[in-house]
Amino acid sequence: MVMPSVDILYSALRKAKRVSPTKGIANVAKRERNRGAKQLDALMKELAIPLRTYIEDFPNKKYLHPYEKSLVELTLGDGNYEEVLGKVEALRKKVVSVGKEHASICAKSLSKREAGERLSEGMKKLEEIFLREGKVVDELLNIAKILRAMPVVDLETPTLCLVGAPNVGKSSLVRLLSTGKPEICNYPFTTRGILMGHITFSYQNFQVTDTPGLLRRHDEDRNNLEKLTLAVLSHLPTAVLYVHDLSGECGTSPSDQFVIYKEIRERFSNHLWLDVLSKCDLLEESPVVYVTEDVNCDDYELAKYRKMGPDGALCVSVKSEMGLDELKSRVHKLLGSQFMKIKGNQEKLEVCG
């Protein structure tokens, strides 16, 4: 938990002003400079200790799991996390340095009046620094809120990852298959992050992820939402449920979906895989053809894809409930296979270790 900078400051000021001089000092000047030095030291500590705690408690990114590291970079921006923590540490060092300096000056005061003036100067200087530079604490507070809102992912639990172009029906299937309740709307990138749900069967818990849709473009042109999807596939123990929509409703042409699918299928060929053709209640005998597509294309594989999707794809419709029972059954089998695959990999690692 990170406190707003203004709360840290005014809490520190209240506590520091309540600090009393050491008992038994009879000389007025000595008592006043003792009180001033102690109050400045207290203010310095009340400001610096929370900052040190934040720096120690926030994880060092280099020790994170590759998936967590990617999630932080793509959600917060590459380097922003370390930059904010670095600024917090710089503020802490400045508060400590200035606080010690003014406490020392106050402790050398020759009169009660001088001690009071040195105390006021030191208090004012520390307050000015924290008001001017404390906004970095509020930046850290915002980062903390974002991190807490991220899905809790068990990095070792078998996971079903729904992948496909934007708006092909992934979110509807996540709601159907798991406890996840993603937003469902008809516009690209409805899924603005990784959304998690869970499935339990045969006394085993499994995760289901709804990922942002992928568009037809090179990796260097992908936005951070698309890169989140690739991070899940790259770093989590996922089986893939790839969703295709040939109904014409999703906004991505069948030809573009075909290209995206071929690339992802080849790139993650080591993943267990299930293809699903969604919104089958909307499909007619003639495939939907976008104006940007070449109707007379002689690519037999693409022509076949436009009509029925990839070989072995399961036709489903959430609206008419077509194929849903079979989908659930095949998902359970897929996740069971994923569980055995993970278990086998762990046993190999133990033998090698």
* pLDDT per residue as tens digits for the range 128-146: 999 999 999 999 999 999 8
Selection from 117, 197, 213, 216 nearest residue 157 by Cα: 197
| Residue 104 burial (C-beta neighbours within 10 Å; 0-12, 13-18, 19+) | middle
* pLDDT per residue as tens digits for the range 51-68: 999 999 998 888 888 888
- Cα separation, 106 vs 17, whole angstroms: 15
How high is the pLDDT of residue 352? 65
- Could you report how far apart the first and last alpha carbons of the chain are, in Å? 39
Residue 287: pLDDT above 60?
Answer: no
- Helices 80-107 and 66-76 pack at an angle, to 10 degrees, of 80
- Determine if the pTM surpasses 0.85: no
How high is the pLDDT of residue 148? 85
Residue 155: pLDDT above 90?
Answer: no
How high is the pLDDT of residue 75? 85
- The single-letter code of the amino acid at 292 is T
Mean pLDDT of 192-219: 85
Residue 88: pLDDT above 50?
Answer: yes
